[in-house]
Amino acid sequence: MTTQNIERYSVVAKRNLERGMKLFNAGFTTKQQQKDTLTYINRAYEAYRSCITDLLWEIPHEEQTEAQSRIYWSIPRAAYLLKLKHVDAILAIFPAASPYLEEMLKLAELRRVVKIQEVVKPDKEGAEMQAKAAHVHVTILERMQRLGRQYEKALTLPDLFGGLNVHANVHVVTNQHGTRYLRAFYYLDGKLTPLPLIIAAHEAHARKKKDK
């Protein structure tokens, strides 16, 4: 039963992450969108945490150790509390937790960036930005299709952004209706960055080159 629970928690985590990333990569036009994104991040984190705690219940009670029990109760309950020392301690006892911890670290970083992300009121420029972001998504989807891949870690994208040091961790997802869409974490100079900010940096970079 625990294996089924872990699979269910994984689905819940991915669903909430997708919803949060959709808002994040579109840019926030209201404080509520920012709050909703944080809610989705928290739900995803909680679900991945449940994947790890359920690993303990796969071990027969009589075989559970004190160290395993201690780790069970010490896993941070919120993304902002998760540190590398927790990850190392958990992996030492539950190596199988590695994929969940990797996602939890991403969520912790995503939460940090969301908290400091500026809210920009909707206007004509905002609509244009959303159109540009949609174009980037379509271009990457087409590229992934040509490569024949569903997932790509550190997909380099300088050609889309005028030579800027941009890469993305990309996962092409197909939902239950057969619709393909993109889940992507974008990085500028190695730092997780909302797509609208990368597009704005690209435009500023292009203007500087033009003025020279």
Q: What is the pLDDT of residues 34-87, one digit of tens each?
A: 999 999 999 999 999 999 998 887 777 778 888 888 888 899 999 999 999 999
pTM of the model: 0.77
Residue 190 confidence class, pLDDT cut points 50, 70, 90:
very high
Residue 128, both tokens: 């244009």
Could you tell me the pLDDT band of residue 175, with boundaries at 50, 70 and 90?
Answer: low
Task: Give the C-alpha separation, 47 to 141, whole Å.
Answer: 28
From its phi and psi, is residue 67 left (phi > 0), alpha (psi between -120 and 50) or beta?
A: alpha
